[in-house]
Each structure stands twice: as C-alpha cells, then as structure tokens.
Amino acid sequence: MKILEESLEIALDTFKHRKLSSVLTVLGIVIGIAAIISLISMGTGLEISLSEQLEAMGSDKILVMPGDEQGLSLAAFTGESLVDNDVEIVEDISGVKMAAGLLFKTLPVRYKDEVISTYVSGATEEAYNKLFLEMKIFEINEGRSINEGESGVVAIGSRIVDDIFEDEVKVGDTLYIKDKKFKIIGNLKSVGNAQDDQNVYLTLEDMRNLVGGKDSLTLIYVQASNQKNIDDVAERIEKKLENKYGDNTIITLTSEQMTEMTSSIFAVLSFVIVGIASISLVVAGVGIANTMFISVMERTKEIGVMKALGATNYDVIQIFLVESALLGLLGGIIGLAVGIGISYLINLFATDLIPVTFEATVTTEMMIWSLIFSTGVGIVSGLWPARKAAKLQPVEALRYE
C-alpha cells in the first residue's frame, strides 16, 4: 500500500511540473467523455419518454393488426384484412375485457386555405366510447366525443390543434376532408406520439363514405381483463383470427412488447452512436500514451536512480501506471461534469426544437461506467510506456542526459 501512496504522490508531483502537457492530455479525455455522456443522455431521455408514453397507454393493452411473423411490416399499416365483426370475435375470447376497431388512412385535410395530408381514422360510437372513456388510450381534452349516427363531425389530435396548420384549430371550427365539410366537436390530449396526435377522428360511416370500403378495419385495440396473463390472451386472439384468415396473417402486440421493441431500437442506436463517439476516446488514449512516453524519457535519469536504489520493475511500472490512470480518471471526472452540463443545456434549448418531449437524462450507471472506462483507457495507454520505463537498465539510464 505504501508504494501505491508514493506512486500517487509522484504522479501528482509530475502533473504540477508539466502542467500544460497534463492539462492538454486530460482535455482529450474530457472531450471524449463529455461527448459520450451528452449523446447517451439524449438517447436515454428519448427512451424514457417513449416508455412513459407506452405506460400511459396501460400495460393491459393489445394491438391487433394484419401482418406476418417478421413483425411490423408495411402490411401492418396498409393492410385492411380485418373486418367489423372481428371486433366481436375478439371480444368473445376469454381474457378480453373489450375491443375497439379503427380504420385509418392518410387523406388531405383542409383548414382555412391550408391543405395537409394527415391521418384520418374512423370508428363507431361504441369504439370511441371505449377508446376515449374506458380504455383511455386517447382522452378528450376539450369538447366531446363522437356519437352514433352523427355525420359531419370530427375530434382532432393535439398536433392538429396547434402544430400542423399555421393557425390554431379550435373546437367549433370547420375542416374539409376531401372536400367534405366537418365540424370540430372535440380535441384530444396529447398521447405523445406524433402519429396518434396527428389524427382526425370521425364516424366509421363518414370514413367509409370518404374512402369506400365495405367493412374493413386497419387495427383493433384490445384491453385484457387481467394484465398478468396478457401474453396468453394475445396468443388466443392471434390463433382465433388466424383460424379465420390463415397462418401468419395476424400479429398482436402487447404493451410490453411495444416497449421492448422501442427500447431495443434505442439500444442499437445508442450503441452505434456511442461506438462512433468512443473513437475519440481511443485517440485520447493515444495522447496519454504519448505524454507518458515523454514523461518516461524526461525522467530516464530519475528511473535509473530509483532502480539503483533497489526499486523493482514492478515498482516502476506501478508509478507510471498510476500516473496514466490518474490522467484518465481526471479526464473522466471533468468530462462527466461537462457532459452533465451539456445535457442540461440540451434540456433548456433543444426540447423546443424537437416535436417529441424528452429530457436528457444522465443515470448513475452511466456516470460509474464513464469513470471506469476513462480510467481503463488511461491504464491501457500507460502500459507500453510503463513497460519501457521498467525495462531501462539502471546503468544506461543513469548515463542518460
């Protein structure tokens, strides 16, 4: 332990001596760690906000769509193989509390003089009551929901209200979908995902008048009566409908699977970005190695004296490794602080620019890992120079000028 303490002292001494060089070396690590921390903090923030959204939907929901085992394909969004009475079939399956079907398409929607293509969804009054009031997948913010047989009225998502069109769209205003006139009777709270918030909801009858179609639906929302065996319920739904339509034609997604899907996408994304940012840490490591070589060279005589006085190779290696590890750790600590500062700034400024709400988050895990990682980089970079120092012959070293 004594030697470790002494190594620390020697290292700190050296830093004082070659201040500028040490500062620049540490700066390399600082930049690398700060970049990694701020990038991961954004990824983590996005992931957290997404899983919160999914959680808000409730962990007892199942989404039923056309599709095959490859999972979410284009077919899931363009397919319309489900029909009205599938909702009843699904509702009769044990473990299903209720189900609501939706037909959606992209259609041009006009407000005042502006026309925008956006999602338009049709559902029955019963389905709206379930979606808005009971399942609470969507919730009414102002106004009211849509009643059966009530033609020519729509409820709009939160992004339609104040994002999509130049002017704010209010309850009571008029929208035109494909030239047909609709009165806005309600708007919805934001569910946080751009697609759902950008939806215009109308009666299934109006929807079918707009786009044609006999009895087809795009997807069915299901609430399970008990979230414990939700996977079994999902499987039963899939089996039942595939009996009707054929193997590999229906996919079900539970809330949990949706969460897993999004977080696995983010994991891959984070991994790639951090991988690229880590290149800068490798470069910083090379910088540490460089500084250490110079340090070994400068102190050749000193090393000779130490060895002549009985210091072992191991002692010498330790002295230099402690020095390089300290450089790494120091860079890590400062980099961490800078990174946290940047993620704070991101929260202050960037969230206004991006449509999704998120908060860049630095987790304790991230902090610990970045410190371990930066120290590791320091040690690895110091290995070669330290070995070089240890291998010096005392006599040769003493002679060195």
Distance CA 334, CA 35 (A): 12
Residues 124-183, interacting with another protein (CB under 8 A): 178-179
Contacts of 231 (CB under 8 A, 6+ apart): 254
Residue given tokens 């913010």 in the structure block? 141
- The smaller minimum CB distance to another protein, of residues 97 and 110, is found at 110
Q: What is the DSSP letter of 133?
A: I
Answer for which of 124, 291, 361, 374 binds another protein (CB under 8 A) is: 291
Query: What mask, x for binding another protein by CB under 8 A, covers residues 10 to 29?
Result: ----------xx--xx-xx-
Contact between 114 and another protein by CB under 8 A: the answer reads: yes
Distance CA 319, CA 321 (A): 6
Residue 174 falls in which region: left (phi positive, over 0), alpha (psi -120 to 50) or beta: beta
Size of interface with another protein, in residues (CB under 8 A): 62
**What tokens were used for 289?**
């190695």
DSSP string, 240-276: HHHHHH-TT-EEEEEHHHHHHHHHHHHHHHHHHHHHH
- The smaller minimum CB distance to another protein, of residues 87 and 289, is found at 289
Kindly provide the residue ranges of all beta strands, DSSP E only, lying in 272-369, ordered along the sequence. Answer: none
Q: How far is the CB of 393 from another protein (least distance, A)?
A: 19
Distance CA 136, CA 130 (A): 7
Q: How far is the CB of 66 from another protein (least distance, A)?
A: 6
Contact between 266 and another protein by CB under 8 A: the answer reads: no
What's the distance, CA 184 to chain centroid?
Answer: 34
Answer for which of 13, 72, 88, 108 binds another protein (CB under 8 A) is: 108
The b/e string for 198-212 (b: 16+ C-beta within 10 A; e otherwise) is: bbbbbbbebbeebbe
Residues 360-399, interacting with another protein (CB under 8 A): none
Contact between 401 and another protein by CB under 8 A: the answer reads: no
Contact between 46 and another protein by CB under 8 A: the answer reads: no
Phi and psi angles of residue 305, each rounded to the nearest 5 degrees, phi first: -60, -45
Answer for which of 4, 12, 268, 286 binds another protein (CB under 8 A) is: 286
Q: How far is the CB of 30 from another protein (least distance, A)?
A: 9
Distance CA 191, CA 232 (A): 27
Answer for which of 68, 134, 167, 232 binds another protein (CB under 8 A) is: 68
Answer for which of 100, 230, 277, 319 binds another protein (CB under 8 A) is: 277
Residues that bind another protein (CB under 8 A): 20-21, 24-25, 27-28, 31-32, 35, 39, 66-68, 73-75, 77-81, 105-108, 110, 113-119, 178-179, 211-216, 245-249, 273, 276-277, 279-284, 286-287, 289-291, 293-294
